[in-house]
Structure 1
Amino acid sequence: MKFIKSIIISSLTIFFFISCTSNNAQTVVQKTKVDTVIRKIKDTISIVAAGDMMLGSAFPSKVNLPPDDAEGSFKAVHSLLKGDIVFGNLEGCFLNSGNSNKCNGINPNNCFAFRMPERYAGIYKKAGFNVLSIANNHVGDFDSKGRKNTARILDSLKIHYAGQVNKPFEIFEKDSVKYAFCAFAPNENTVSIKNIDSAKALVAKLKTMADIVIVSFHGGGEGARFEHVTRKTEIFYNENRGNVYAFAHAVIDAGADVVLGHGPHVARAVEVYKNKFIAYSLGNFCTYGMFSLKGSNGFAPLLQLKINAKGDFLFADVISVKQDKVNRLTLDENYTAFKKIKTLTDADFIGHKLKFENNRISLAE
């Protein structure tokens, strides 16, 4: 009788294991003080990624706010902002009043300080963004008041964010997948992109706490003269903007699954390193007011990235968008951003083994 009972128990155990690992899903075993917990992670994870976003600044006057009060900012891409993660770079703070110290002694009309009305935060939420980077050179335009108020509002909307020294990362769960998100920049009060050893240590720690680690960085020179990934430290206006190539490779070596870059205001090349996807710059996605939209600055990709349960790259669809002062954000039927990314990737990563076809980036067979 004991023998038969043992067989039944063993059979049930095997059946349970098989059921947990079926459907080609990634199985993660987490050990706790109480017991061992087996979680099944979905086969394919969808990450939608955009670059710089600033919907209009009320500083120095309301003339830099859009006529529709930003309500139509994302209407051209609303149906495309769907994914497990919908990411963008928040290029500015949410604050209804106040002056910027960076404009002391400067004509405010010539000073790039961005203060979005607090009500604009709900537009990002409604559009579908659930992860934002606040590691950049504009979230601190209105000092601690702007940073704290931005954090308060994002918390109230349950939008995940990271990148300031007092919040270098966030860990959250969605559909049984645990994500860790961290963001870096070369700017004051941000987690430094220049201290690569510290960045690696943080990412390595996060990898022990989450299934998928997403890293964002704001780095590199700005404008059409800085389209290429140089693999060197980039200096812009006498400021060290980091070595984005060394940084991206280092954090992947430490455990990052996806690296999403922004800052140059133009699209840059992409790379797959150790099966992990890197976008070196996602350009100006949705910006209004004092942003330059001339030439390459007016075109950007909206990435629809797919990775597997291990965080390895599967493919990325590239939705090309464009902006101008009159029509604002619209779809680009000439696919300029996709073509630009292909050209830059071919130039900067010779022998890259990626295929660019029908607005999709995939691994060459």
Structure 2
Amino acid sequence: MNFLKTIFLSLFIFIIILGCTNNNAQVVVSTAQTDTIVRKIKDTISITAVGDIMLGSAFPSTSNLPPDDAVNSFQAVDSLLKGDIVFGNLEGCFLNSGNSTKCNGINPNNCYAFRMPDRYAGVYKKAGFNVLSIANNHVGDFDSKGRKNTARILDSLQIHYAGQLNKPFEVFEKDSVKYAFCAFAPNENTVSINKTGEAKALVARLKTMADIVIVSFHGGGEGARFEHVRRKNEIFYNENRGNVYAFAHAVIDAGADVVLGHGPHVTRAVEVYKNKFIAYSLGNFCTYGMFSLKGNNGIAPLLQLKINPKGDFLFADVTSIKQDKINRLTVDKNYGAFKRMKELTDIDFVGHQLNFENNKITLKN
């Protein structure tokens, strides 16, 4: 019996030593017995995040589709759309036909209703996107038919998504890391950004289910007049688009590890709060057709964010992209989005603890 105990003890010590020499962080779960389960978690988690994406709408006519049928939409940044998580906001639905009730009584050419052909979903998949927000004002442009078809297609491609009332969150595992993703917006059939108490309760619940909780929001006014983070409710077209500052802080208080904002169609400031990263707006990333791309509406960041196993911010690389009606999405060699992000962060978060140098965001020492 003592011999067996010695063998068991030696084996246990060997396992502990082996674990300590591994560079990966670990989650250890102990039972009431002597059993120990060790689950390895990566030292560094990579999250690539961009803003609004709408590759071309077949409504009101196919003339609003790009000449290459969207296949080269991400060509300029193809090598950058890598990571454990590759996130974007799906600004429209997938649907091959149908009219939008939001355009009743309105000239369709002046109505912003977006439906991408079903086949365009494969462009997202091929590019590397594995998490998409469907909490916004355009996924429902073609009512339940568009929402249901979009969900069906994303499910078939195994792209994770959330944000509608019938799909407020998703929990999934990749490379031994458990992620929870949830998304919020002020729009019909979305999980509300304006019900902060409910949002906090959901995030707190998700934190018990996952290692890393990622929150997305579609909020704030739109356009050049709304570049700044206003610490109050933002009203746009008589609609309460949320107090994005209070919302972001509230969900981090409840357990969120990363908060990714979109909706204003312009780049906004970033912040690190309680060691957690917040992007208040990632702008128009890849938007073909009726979107305004003038001035700062035509620039946006591609964030390559690194966090540790606790969800704490390490650093972020920023690739600035720009769009115009002719060249579409290209890498901006003048670094416009990075520069604007720094300017806005300096103005909106005086005394912040971030360094912006060489297209990289780091914490000050």
Instruction: Specify the TM-score bucket, using the shorter chain as the normaliser.
Output: over 0.9
Q: Secondary structure at the match of 2:75?
A: coil
Q: Secondary structure at the match of 1:144?
A: helix
Equivalent residue number for residue 171 of structure 2: 171
**Cα drift, residue 13 of structure 1:** 1.6
Whether the 8 Å contact between 1:182 and 1:214 is mirrored in structure 2 is: yes
Whether the 8 Å contact between 1:25 and 1:309 is mirrored in structure 2 is: no
Equivalent residue number for residue 296 of structure 1: 296
Q: Secondary structure at the match of 2:167?
A: coil
1:105 matched to 2:83? The reply is no
Equivalent residue number for residue 27 of structure 1: 26
| Unaligned residue ranges in structure 1 (runs of 5+) | none
Equivalent residue number for residue 15 of structure 2: 16
Equivalent residue number for residue 68 of structure 2: 68
Which residue identity does 2:351 align to in structure 1?
Answer: G
Q: Percent identity?
A: 81
1:248 matched to 2:259? The reply is no
Q: Secondary structure at the match of 1:173?
A: strand
Equivalent residue number for residue 54 of structure 2: 54
1:213 matched to 2:206? The reply is no
**Cα drift, residue 4 of structure 1:** 4.8
Mapping for residues 246-325 of structure 1, pairs under 5 Å: 246-325=246-325
Bigger mean CA offset, 28-37 vs 323-332: 28-37
Which residue identity does 1:113 align to in structure 2?
Answer: A
Counterpart Cα distance in 1 of 2:309 and 2:353: 22
**Cα drift, residue 12 of structure 1:** 2.1
Counterpart Cα distance in 2 of 1:282 and 1:33: 47
**Cα drift, residue 295 of structure 1:** 0.6
Counterpart Cα distance in 2 of 1:347 and 1:23: 43
Q: CA RMSD in A?
A: 1.4
Which residue identity does 2:208 align to in structure 1?
Answer: T
TM-score by length of 1: 0.97
Counterpart Cα distance in 1 of 2:187 and 2:320: 29
Distance 1:21 1:134, change over 3 A: farther
Counterpart Cα distance in 1 of 2:94 and 2:3: 67
**Deviations 1:222-280 (Å, cap 9, x if unpaired)?**
00100011111111011000011111111111111100000000000000011110000
Which residue identity does 1:88 align to in structure 2?
Answer: G
Which residue identity does 2:26 align to in structure 1?
Answer: T
Distance 1:128 1:33, change over 3 A: farther
**Cα drift, residue 30 of structure 1:** 4.1
**Deviations 1:127-168 (Å, cap 9, x if unpaired)?**
110100000000000000000000000000010000000000
Counterpart Cα distance in 2 of 1:339 and 1:303: 14
Counterpart Cα distance in 2 of 1:274 and 1:308: 14
Which residue identity does 1:23 align to in structure 2?
Answer: N
Which residue identity does 1:271 align to in structure 2?
Answer: E
**Deviations 1:26-72 (Å, cap 9, x if unpaired)?**
21134689965220101011100000000000000111100111111
Count of residues in Structure 1 that have an aligned counterpart in Structure 2: 364
1:89 matched to 2:86? The reply is no
Counterpart Cα distance in 1 of 2:142 and 2:194: 24
TM-score by length of 2: 0.97
Counterpart Cα distance in 1 of 2:40 and 2:175: 10
